């Protein structure tokens, strides 16, 4: 069991910086998820920790040991691959025993460890089968079994669920969560699926173009995104953004003039330097309520999506993109209606022109 420390870690392929001076600390037993759009470097970062790629600059510490030059096995890490990468010619038992045998364990202890692992993952009945005779979920479990059989201090998952269908994905997600509870090992998990990130993580690391955008608990990321990028990446349907200008701010409230919705008063103060400059207001779909139009500020409803438990209402605005509202399933709003929009101002976020969040006065105090 061990913690992981990254200190100004960089990775270059030729002249491209794939990972640019990333510093991060992962506590012992923590479940950390790397998310980001494709090409953001999340898989590369994982492979740097695994030891499959060499680190160009910076230090990687596991426990209190610098491990930059150590092999994966010496680092005490186990990895689950996206395509599972099971050895096709070996049975489930042999797949899980391969690493143990190479570690020069005695054959009794190999058998014991494999049996124990199989019991944890409910693979006991499948030990003699070849991978091709297994279903996707079973292969996934074998891949996990192979990674945990050697009892590594740190488990790495590289988009492990992306090859599974939706229902199996939910099931395996829960199994991974349960596994983490049972083993208590440190887990680093890479995904592009923010639902996986939100549901599994103790701590989410949002990566963008090789650097960290924000690190925090799922709640922090959802409720206090540090940048427009994080705000738009976390949450589905994603956050609405409205252009405008900051008119005034004091300790208790901020007035902004929005191009589409006119003046809005937010019940919190921000940095006074923002006054007079262009800002972006971000509002999540569930905090934007359409009501039947009464006054002049009316918008046309483009589409209503019925999802069973709720409806998504898409509203045409003057902004580049239409606005999304999340409403009760039994809404009376229909396509082509005209509506006006109510913002839950306490839940609105403000971003400056560089996309950085304007910190609320209450939060910084």
Residue 277, token pair as written in the block: 């400059």
Backbone angles phi, psi at 359, to 5 degrees: -70, 135
Nearer to another protein, 76 or 216 (CB): 76
Task: Pick the closer one to another protein by CB: 53 or 59.
Answer: 53
Taking the complex as a whole, the smallest distance from the CB of residue 62 to another protein amounts, in Å, to 15
CA separation for the pair 206, 357 (Å, rounded)? 15
Comparing CB distances to another protein, the nearer of 63 and 72 is 72
Helix locations, 184-257, DSSP H: 194-200, 218-223, 228-233
The nearest distance, CB 312 to another protein, in angstroms, is: 38
The Cα–Cα gap between 308 and 295 comes to 31
Strand partners of residue 66: 61
- In the complex, minimum distance from the CB of residue 19 to another protein, in angstroms, rounded to a whole number: 18
What residue ranges bind another protein (CB under 8 A)?
Answer: 50-52, 71-73, 77-79, 81-83, 85-89, 98-99, 102-103, 146-147, 150
Q: Which is nearer to another protein, 83 or 272 (CB)?
A: 83
Least Å from the CB of residue 319 to another protein:
43
Tokens of 281: 């207001």
- CB closer to another protein out of 71 and 294: 71
Nearest to 154 by CA among 47, 1, 332, 329: 1
Segment holding 239, helix H or strand E: none
Least separation in angstroms between residue 150's CB and another protein is 8
> Minimum distance between the CB of residue 83 and another protein, rounded to whole angstroms?
5
For 104, residues 6+ apart whose C-beta sits below 8 A from its C-beta are: none
**Cβ at position 85, least distance to another protein in Å:** 4
The first and second tokens of residue 194, run together, are: 């923010």
DSSP states along 241-296: EEEEEEEEE-SS-EEEEETTTEEEEESS---GGGTTSEEEEEE-GGGEEEEE--SS
User: 170, 165, 146: which is closest to 156 by C-alpha?
Assistant: 146
Instruction: Report in angstroms how near the CB of residue 316 gets to another protein at its nearest.
Output: 46
Angle between helices 92-102 and 136-149 (to 10 degrees): 20
Rounded CA gap, 111 and 126, in Å?
Answer: 15
Distance, in Å, from the CA atom of 213 to the CA atom of 206, rounded to the nearest integer, reads: 5
Give the gyration radius of the chain's Cα atoms.
24
Residue closer to another protein, measured from CB, 86 or 301: 86
Q: Which residues contact 229 (CB under 8 A, 6 or more apart)?
A: 206, 208, 213, 355
Distance CA(331)–CA(312), nearest Å, equals 10
Instruction: Report the nearest approach of another protein to the CB of residue 183 (Å).
Output: 17
State which residue, 35 or 96, has the beta carbon closest to another protein.
96
Which lies closer to another protein via its Cβ, residue 95 or residue 208?
Answer: 95
Least CB distance from residue 78 to another protein, whole Å? Answer: 7
Query: In terms of CB distance, is 43 or 254 closer to another protein?
Result: 43
* Cβ proximity to another protein, 143 vs 172, nearer residue: 143
């Amino acid at each position: 069991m061990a913690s992981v420390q990254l200190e100004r870690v960089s990775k270059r392929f030729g002249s491209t910086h794939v990972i640019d001076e990333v510093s991060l600390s992962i506590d012992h037993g923590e479940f950390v998820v790397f998310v980001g759009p494709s090409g953001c470097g999340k898989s590369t970062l994982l492979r740097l920790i695994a030891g499959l790629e060499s680190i160009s600059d910076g230090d990687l510490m596991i426990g209190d040991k610098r491990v930059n030059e150590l092999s994966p096995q010496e680092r005490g890490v186990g990895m689950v691959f996206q395509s599972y990468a099971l050895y096709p010619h070996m049975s489930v038992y042999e797949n899980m025993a391969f690493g143990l045998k190479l570690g020069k364990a005695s054959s009794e202890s190999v058998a014991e460890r494999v049996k124990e692992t199989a019991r944890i993952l409910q693979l006991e009945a499948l030990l003699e089968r070849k991978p091709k005779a297994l279903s996707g979920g079973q292969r996934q479990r074998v891949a996990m079994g192979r990674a945990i059989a050697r009892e590594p201090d740190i488990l790495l998952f590289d988009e492990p669920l992306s090859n599974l269908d939706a229902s199996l994905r939910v099931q395996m997600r829960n199994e991974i969560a349960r596994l983490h509870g049972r083993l208590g090992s440190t887990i680093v998990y890479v995904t592009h699926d923010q639902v996986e990130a939100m549901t599994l993580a103790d701590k989410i690391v949002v990566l963008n173009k090789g650097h960290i955008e924000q690190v925090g608990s799922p709640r922090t990321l959802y409720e206090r995104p540090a940048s427009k990028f994080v705000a738009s990446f976390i949450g589905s349907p994603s956050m609405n953004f409205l252009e405008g200008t900051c008119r005034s701010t004091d300790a208790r409230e901020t007035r902004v003039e929005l191009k589409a919705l006119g003046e809005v008063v937010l019940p919190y103060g921000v940095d006074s330097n923002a006054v007079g400059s262009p800002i972006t207001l971000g509002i999540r779909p569930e905090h934007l309520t359409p009501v039947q139009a009464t006054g002049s500020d009316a918008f046309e409803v483009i589409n209503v999506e019925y999802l069973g438990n709720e409806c998504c209402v898409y509203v045409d605005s003057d902004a580049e993109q239409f606005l999304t509202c999340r409403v009760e399933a039994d809404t009376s709003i229909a396509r082509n209606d005209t509506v006006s929009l109510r913002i839950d101002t306490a839940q609105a976020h403000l971003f400056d022109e560089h996309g950085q969040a304007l910190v609320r006065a209450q939060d910084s105090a």
